[in-house]
Amino acid sequence: MASPALPEISKPKIVDGPGGYVLEDVPHLTDYIPDLPTYPNPLQDNPAYSVVKQYFVHVDDSVPQKVVVHKDDPKGIHFRRAGARQKVYFHSDDVHACIVTCGGLCPGLNTVVREIVCGLHHMYGVKKVLGIDGGYKGFYAKNTVYLNPKVVNDIHKRGGTILGTSRGGHDTSKIVDSIQDRGINQVYIIGGDGTQRGAALIFEEIRRRGLKVSVAGIPKTIDNDIPVIDKSFGFDTAVEEAQRAINAAHVESESFENCIGLVKLMGRYSGFIAMYATLASRDVDCCLIPESPFYLEGPGGLFEYIEKRLKEDEHMVIVIAEGAGQELLSQSIQSTTDASGNKLLQDVGLWISQSIKILLI
């Protein structure tokens, strides 16, 4: 429980400005540690940066939630812009950082780990970076490994995460005990929505104990479904790989009469991978995504379209994101969850291929 004297951080920190400008801010060390000393950012002495005119993000820069607005609309919700600041709150020699990867795998996890280690080392002169093994639980249940540019040099060429990962619950208090015992003061947490909820609770506990420990959440989603960032890491690789499956399905479908190539792609709640792979491949006749409900039978249904395409072309390729059509097949089957409480989806690929086979008999 947070101390009653402190503002509740589980609620967004809202700052109102003129013209309907709203900043949904992130919590910061200075919220609960007054008069924290600052230091000049070591990047200012780095030749690669100092030649560039504007390389620090202004403290008041923000990013709008909505790109498209009407001229009469209020300025609306904004988020604080990430990036290097002119002043920092840690002296490089005092930093003891750690990195943890949690939740499911995503291409690029090792690249992100490598960039944190190399960035801290080469750009900020930070020498102590600890890797936490096996996700959140690893803080108190596993060994740790010290990371430096040499250790991480080749890891971006490997899949997965060299740190290991996990799902399932964890003990926030034990994590903060471990952070405190090890003298860690910067925590870099790479993971999806569940992980970031966990990170908020870790920061809340750190704040409750009044520790000078920064927590930085690095969003991981292969689905590219975070609106305010340009692109989530791993998405391009997923789209690229998806096209290989689509190519194979297309070759196979062309080789047999009335053959349908069916490709199920990732995407629990969003169809970006399916849509981008579809648009890039040009071989897909139909793309089914969670955002757009569909039905099988009757006018305008999938079966009608399949019959039309087979009549015209004698083959077709269908792409389906794994979260599409879940409402059509989940009614009769009891839903289950994974170790973290995420709903396990029904296999829409199997269901739709069986339904099509019955149609074509």
Ligand X SMILES: O=P(O)(O)OC[C@H]1O[C@](O)(CO)[C@@H](O)[C@@H]1O
Ligand Y SMILES: Nc1ncnc2c1ncn2[C@@H]1O[C@H](COP(=O)(O)OP(=O)(O)OP(=O)(O)O)[C@@H](O)[C@H]1O
- The CA-based diameter of the chain, rounded to the nearest angstrom, is 76
Q: Which does 268 bind (CB under 5 to 8 A by kind): ligand X, ligand Y, none?
A: ligand X
- 157-196 residues in contact with ligand X (CB under 6 A) are 192
Active site residues: 223
When binding is defined by CB under 6 A, the residue of 108, 267, 290, 325 that contacts ligand X is: 267
What does the buried/exposed string (b/e) look like for 265-283 if buried means 16 or more CB atoms within 10 Å of the residue's CB? bbbbebbbbbbbbbeebeb
Q: What does 138 interact with, of ligand Y, ligand X, none (CB < 5 to 8 A by kind)? A: none
Q: Does 225 bind ligand Y (CB under 6 A)?
A: no
Count of residues near ligand Y by CB under 6 A: 21
Tokens of 337: 């969850």
In terms of Cβ atoms closer than 10 Å to its own Cβ (0-12, 13-18, 19+), residue 23 is middle
Residue 325: contacted member of ligand X, ligand Y, none (CB under 5 to 8 Å, by partner type): none
Residue 103 lies near ligand Y (rule: CB under 6 A): yes
Considering only residues 10 to 69 of the shown chain, the ones binding ligand Y according to CB under 6 A are none
Contacting ligand Y (CB under 6 A), which of 91, 158, 197, 308? 197
CA distance 194 to 190: 11
In terms of DSSP bridges, do strands 214-219 and 186-191 run parallel, antiparallel, or are they unpaired?
parallel
DSSP string, 84-116: --SEESS-GGG-EEEEEE-SS--TTHHHHHHHH
Interface pick for ligand X out of 29, 97, 104, 214 (rule CB under 6 A): 104
| Cα 285 off chain centre by | 29
Sketch the per residue contact string, 329 through 358, with ligand Y: x for CB under 6 A, - otherwise: -----------x-x----------------
Q: Which stretch binds ligand X (CB under 6 A): 68-76, 143-151, 175-183, 262-270?
A: 262-270
Q: Of 166 and 185, which CB lies nearer to ligand Y in the complex structure?
A: 166
DSSP state of 132: E
Residue 173 binds which entry of ligand Y, ligand X, none, CB below 5-8 Å type-dependent = none
325 lines the binding site for ligand X (CB under 6 A): no
Question: With respect to ligand X, which residue has the nearer C-beta, 113 or 222?
Answer: 222
For residue 69, give the amino acid letter: V
CA 346, CA 327: separation in Å to the nearest integer? 10
Residue 170 near ligand Y by CB under 6 A:
yes
Q: How far is CA 305 from CA 276, 297, 321, 327, 349, in A?
A: 21, 10, 18, 20, 18
Residue 221 touches ligand X, criterion: CB under 6 A? yes
* Whether the Cβ atoms of residue 140 and residue 171 lie closer than 8 Å to each other: yes
320 binds ligand X (CB under 6 A): no
340 binds, among ligand Y, ligand X, none (CB under 5 to 8 A by kind): ligand Y
Backbone angles phi, psi at 93, to 5 degrees: -65, -20
Angle between helices 348-360 and 302-313 (to 10 degrees): 60
Q: Which of the choices ligand Y, ligand X, none does residue 170 contact, using the CB cut-off of 5 to 8 A by kind?
A: ligand Y
Answer for which of 108, 134, 138, 192 binds ligand Y (CB under 6 A) is 192
Q: Site residues (CB under 6 A) for ligand Y?
A: 102-104, 135-136, 166-170, 191-195, 197-198, 201, 221, 340, 342
Question: In the complex, which residues of this chain contact ligand X (CB under 6 A)?
Answer: 104, 192, 221-223, 266-268, 322, 338
